[in-house]
Structure 1
Amino acid sequence: MTETATPVRREGIPLGRIAGVPVVLAYSWFIIAAFTVIVFGPVLDRSNPALGASAYVVAFAYAVLLLISVLVHELAHALTARIYGWPTQKIVLNLWGGHTQFDSFTATPGRSVLVALAGPAANFVLAAGAWLVHDSDSLGSVAEMLMNIFMWSNFVLGVFNVLPGLPLDGGRLVESVVWKATGSQAKGTVAAGWGGRLIVVLLGYWFILRPLLAGDSPDFGNLMITILVAGFLWMGASAAIQQGTLRGRLHLVSAAGLSTPAVGLPATASVQDALRMGAPSSTAVVVCGGDGRPEGVVDPAALQSVPPAAAGTTPLTAVSYALAAGAYVPEWSKGQELLQFLSQLEGRDYAVVDHNGKVTGLLSQEAVLAAITGRRPRPDGHPQGRNR
């Protein structure tokens, strides 16, 4: 099959590799950089009138220092993960700070915690180093100001990231504790996700509701930062809850358990042969090529439309639709293994075969989606309504 090359949208500016790890600066980072300049520029100008217009340059320098802090944070994740053989695909620095993207790996509660906490630990080290330099009194006023900002931003970044809720690194500690106690990573992920939502509620109370109840107006800069951070945390926490819920249903995803009974017939068979096998009422029919591999599926409506007198002379291929190339799965496939396998295949239907290559069932994409989402398929094939 010939594939047409399609342009891939670049997610950002490649910054090269650090310790072999590709680093990408997402275009969205420039939004937070502009926000930093707009919000903190006037603050610096008021507190240091001698700076004048250069206050906005200092504010941008602060955004760059924060970017460096996040990069070191993510590198700590990546390099710690390397100790355990977790392959790092890339580091992306973006609007929300950044994230380290790993390829597939096998995690344990202990390793997950160590990799997660390596990031905040790196920020604490940077804060301590900045404190030592700042304490030396050898810096000029602007450099001293930036070093002070760098010190406090790393300290706050470290403290904030150890809070017990996903998507923060401290959420991995909650996840691992629940995982270790229950034996279920999925339950740990859901618990950590709810921890993240609780953090959002507490942030909203402390920075917005509390000042209002005291009769004060929240500072505009703090208000915007709180809304931005709370939105990021809520989305990440919700995604974690959804991910954990879906992962908890992976045991229900089984090729043998979700497929409907099916038989394989050669492409040379007729409609009459399919009717003899019980199609279309009780058994699906998969059309196999000369090498025995599944190539198509008989359409029940088309099969029934064939007049009885013509059933013996109508080829099976006339009432079938083609399967995508390689769209067949072993009947013992299940869980994450099955999902990864199906993600590499095209089409919506997949033949299920046994160890001998004999067709035993027909698996639909809708059945798999219904299993992992807990929703029943609608008549049109799309999931609906949660199972009770």
Structure 2
Amino acid sequence: MSGPQASPPASSPAGPPTPRAPGTVKIGTIAGSDVLVTSSWFLVAGLIAIVMAPHAEAVHPGLGPWKYVAGFAFAVVLYLSVLLHEASHAYMARHYGFPVSTITLHFLGGVTAIEAEAKKPRQEFWIAVVGPLTSIAVGLVALGLRSVVPDGLLLMVVEGLAFGNLFIGALNLVPGLPLDGGRVLKSAVWQLTGSLHRGTVVAAWGGRVTAVAVLLWPLAQQAIWGTEPDVFDFVLAFIIGFFLWNGATASLQAAKIRRRLPVLVARNLARRTLQAPEDLPLAEAVRRARASTAEPSA
């Protein structure tokens, strides 16, 4: 899963750089945004290498231990396409004038930290939808290359990129937060109702429904196709469902808090101060402050 994530500004352009999150490694920059990799990425890359190793051996017999290297190389290439997905979010956000601090690749995909909220539904829509469209475009290009790439490891990588990116693009268009499709739904409801809060709530509940559907998927596949789900199916469904439910719930809570907060104006919160000498008794300072409707200060 991947997508943009709005967050409060961490620093001004002239201030210190945004501190790197713990457990991450910086691997470069894209358009001024740090590209980070979490420690969990190395775990999933290793798992992908193990899963793909038998396929590499079948395509190119006699690889021996190098089949795991081939599997790991595929994981790197696949996540480079995820990075392209996230970079498209970042470029679109910058197009609208929003700063982007980091792009982080993690266990379930990636996230782009946009340090501002969209001000218009149109901005929310394009920042969100450009990611899945990029993944689908990469998948279609890779699909087209299948006919010209010779059999072997390269064809295995191209086919993996094709179906992997088409899956990522389609999954991220599911209309529920925190997926990109949830932000698309949020922008649509916002545009129709004029209410950002209502758009967020509808999209968050879409995310919760999606999470429940994912959790029930192993049982559904048995009912639909008659295939017996294994432990891996249940574990994967739990991880993805848990991620979706938590992300949707966080968006729902943030929307409720944002709605309850009054519009604060700094001028209304400001208070005049009363200068008092050090030897002035506290009671007298308080009396003078009350008399002048000012806050006492020494």
User: Which fold has the larger relative contact order, with Cα–Cα distance below 8 Å and residues 6 or more apart in sequence?
Assistant: 2
Task: Give the corresponding residue for 2:275.
Answer: 266
Task: Give the corresponding residue for 1:316.
Answer: none
- Distance in 1 of aligned mates of 2:281 and 2:194: 52
Q: Structure 1, unaligned stretches of length 5 or more? A: 1-6, 290-388
1:175 aligns with 2:186: yes
- Distance in 2 of aligned mates of 1:101 and 1:77: 10
Report the CA distance between 1:135 and its aligned residue. Answer: 1.6
1:195 aligns with 2:187: no
- Distance in 1 of aligned mates of 2:57 and 2:198: 50
- Which secondary structure state, in structure 2, belongs to the residue aligned with residue 77 of structure 1? helix
Contact 1:29–1:93 under 8 Å retained in 2: yes
Which moved further from structure 2: 125-134 or 151-160? 125-134
- Distance in 2 of aligned mates of 1:163 and 1:211: 19
Contact 1:274–1:285 under 8 Å retained in 2: no
- Distance in 2 of aligned mates of 1:70 and 1:9: 20
TM-score (norm 2): 0.79
Q: 1:26 aligns with which of 38, 54, 66?
A: 38
Report the CA distance between 1:190 and its aligned residue. Answer: 2.0
- Which secondary structure state, in structure 2, belongs to the residue aligned with residue 241 of structure 1? helix
Report the CA distance between 1:10 and its aligned residue. Answer: 4.7
1:287 aligns with 2:289: no
1:110 aligns with 2:122: yes
Task: Give the corresponding residue for 2:247.
Answer: 236
Distance 1:144-1:49 versus aligned 2 partners, 3 A rule: closer
Distance 1:176-1:106 versus aligned 2 partners, 3 A rule: closer
Distance 1:183-1:33 versus aligned 2 partners, 3 A rule: same
How many residue pairs get aligned? The number is: 275
Q: 1:184 aligns with which of 195, 214, 232?
A: 195
Task: Give the corresponding residue for 1:327.
Answer: none
CA displacement 1:105-133 (0-9 Å, x = unmatched): 55210111011111011111111111121
Task: Give the corresponding residue for 1:341.
Answer: none
Structure showing greater Rg: 1
Of Structure 1 and Structure 2, the greater strand share is in 1
Report the CA distance between 1:251 and its aligned residue. Answer: 2.6
Task: Give the corresponding residue for 2:106.
Answer: 94
Task: Give the corresponding residue for 2:80.
Answer: 68
Report the CA distance between 1:25 and its aligned residue. Answer: 1.7
Contact 1:45–1:52 under 8 Å retained in 2: no
1:209 aligns with 2:219: yes
Task: Give the corresponding residue for 1:165.
Answer: 176
**Amino acid corresponding to residue 288 of structure 1 in structure 2:** S
- Which secondary structure state, in structure 2, belongs to the residue aligned with residue 126 of structure 1? helix
Structural mapping, 1:40-55, within 5 Å: 40-41=51-52, 44=55, 50=61, 52-55=64-67
Task: Give the corresponding residue for 2:4.
Answer: none
TM-score (norm 1): 0.62
Report the CA distance between 1:285 and its aligned residue. Answer: 7.6
Q: Structure 2, unaligned stretches of length 5 or more? A: 1-18
Task: Give the corresponding residue for 1:249.
Answer: 260
When the two chains are superposed, the root-mean-square deviation of aligned CA atoms in Å is 3.2
